[in-house]
Structure 1
Amino acid sequence: MTTNETPTEVTDPRSGSERVFAFFRKKLLSGELRTGDRLPAERELAVQLNVGRPLLREAMRSLAMLGLVDIRHGSGAFVGKADISVLTDFFTFSLAQEQNVSEDIMQARMAIECQAIRLACERATDGDLDRIGGCLTALIATLADPEKGGMADFRFHAAIVQASHSQALITLYKAISELLMRNHVERRRTARKAPEVIDDLVESHRRVFLSIVEGDGDAADSRLREHFAIGDELRRKSIIAAFSRSGMEE
């Protein structure tokens, strides 16, 4: 090993792989590294972080799987853009093992959407409003189909979050999107057992949409919370109705 390759003494107690991940985290958060930037050569980076090159390669492969590093053979390594689907899979696998996951996801959804709708009232463009309105139309057209209707319902709410133009909220919402989709479909399957659900469902979504068009953040927040409360009430009624019919049939 040449003199300039000799690693300096490192007192950092973390393992080599932890130092590699910490290096990228620090550089990305500080803005020193941005998407598309070329990373130092492998030899230079290994010396800088005081890690062996085999370990560095393994850590880089892990970062590449997350989309954070783009390894181009013959050209070097570049800063990539994180793959949100990896985060979605992580949340899905992690939360799916928990009890009462539907309730927890609902609480997370409410927290994200209530802030998102306030921002949407300030930031929504004409394109955003057209998108949300289109989702409402699709929602109405699929009321009789739990699968398509549930997905249309999910897209309506996702469009509201998108209209917030808050990358943090959008990213968090996408991270739990798989669980949210399942939740919407399950709720539709349950809710259709109560005849009064349909009209209330449409009117509730319409009021939420109009609140964004009006641009009143307080009113929008209030209507969205009412929408969530109505959904819970309708779900309870449909369950009661289903079990009541079951008892009568017996």
Structure 2
Amino acid sequence: MLAQSEDLSGAEKVFAFFRNALLDGTLKTGERLLGERELALKLGVSRPLLREALRSLSMLGFLDIQHGRGAFVRHAEISVLSDFFTFSLAQQPDILDDVMQARIAIECQAIRLACDRASETDLKGIGSKLTRLMDTLHDPAEGGAADFAFHQAIVDASHSEALNTLYRAIGDLLRRSHIQRREVTISEPGVIDYLVDAHREVFLSIVDRNPDAADRKLREHFAIGDAFRRRSLISAFSRRPAT
């Protein structure tokens, strides 16, 4: 078992070898690892431990182990990273507030890049997401999902693989946050008009290719949205009867 201390040290050797080989370009997607015996000798670990470590990497989607042929490097799916973030972060108290701060950092840089890099197809895609958002304003579940899709389309339009990877990794948590916030704020006076105006202004700033304005509009959107959420929470608790 990898849980034993000496085995854990050996497993770390395997993981470090694999990670470093990917980083320095020694291994690339589709390439075959050294044979089990040769790799075990190279890393100074037992073959059973190596086999277990490679199986773990395979379960994570990093390797494709083919019986009789060996282990091949796979291009990992983003869902693996998303699952890791979800399982890890979901156990932390008040994690959605922290995730929102990460979201702001990612989106504000993404929208600046989108102003420079977005293609006509990207702009049409963001526009269609805005239309969907406006069609679902009164439905917290559908509207929250549409809101998330609008912001995801902005990150997509940045054409930054790193920002997209990070954003999609927290995507499940963000989608849940959008829906929860809609459920809380949907009855707040003025929120419907705000949702339309704020998202339209963000979209138009990208169309205008104005990164400073886009960054500013997006930050205003986050700040005002958070104010709506706080107001609705205060209102909800103020209506509760004393016990």
Asked if TM exceeds 0.5, the reply is yes
Query: Is residue 2:134 matched to residue 1:122?
Result: no
Runs of 4+ in 1 over 3 A off after TM superposition: 240-247
1:187 paired residue number: 181
Deviation at 1:243, TM superposition (A): 4.2
Cα deviation for residue 162 of structure 1 reads: 1.0
Whole-Å separation in 1 of the counterparts to 2:108 and 2:156:
13
CA distance in 2, matches of 1:63, 1:55: 12
SS of 1:15's partner is helix
Q: Deviations over 1:74-95 (max 9, x none)?
A: 2221110123222212211222
CA distance in 2, matches of 1:194, 1:48: 64
Query: For 1:187-226, what per-residue CA distance to the aligned partner results, in whole angstroms no more than 9, with x for missing partners?
Result: 1011111131001111000000111111111111111001
Aligned: 1:89 with 2:49: no
Instruction: Please say if 1:154 is aligned against 2:141.
Output: no
1:108 corresponds, among 87, 99, 102, to 102
- Structure 2 letter corresponding to 1:101: I
> What are the equivalent positions in structure 2 for 1:19-58 lying under 5 Å apart?
19-58=13-52
Determine if contact 1:193/1:242 at 8 Å carries over to the other structure.
Answer: no
Give the TM-score, by structure 2 length: 0.92
Aligned-pair distance for 1:244?
A: 4.9
CA contact (8 A) 1:88 1:178 kept: yes
Give, in angstroms, the shift of residue 138 of structure 1: 0.5
> How far apart in 1 are the matches of 2:233 and 2:9?
53
For structure 2, which runs of at least 5 residues remain unmatched after alignment?
Answer: 1-7
Distance 1:17 1:240, change over 3 A: closer
Change (3 A) 1:144 1:33: same
Q: If the length of structure 1 is used for normalisation, what is the TM-score?
A: 0.89
- SS of corresponding position for 1:33: coil
The number of residues matched between the two structures is 235
Q: Distance in 2 between matches of 1:228 and 1:71?
A: 45
How far apart are residue 238 of structure 1 and its match? Answer: 2.4
Amino acid across the alignment from 1:51: V
Q: 1:177 aligns with which of 171, 192, 214?
A: 171
Maintained 8 Å contact 1:136/1:206: yes
CA RMSD of aligned residues (A): 1.6
Equivalence for 2:196: 202
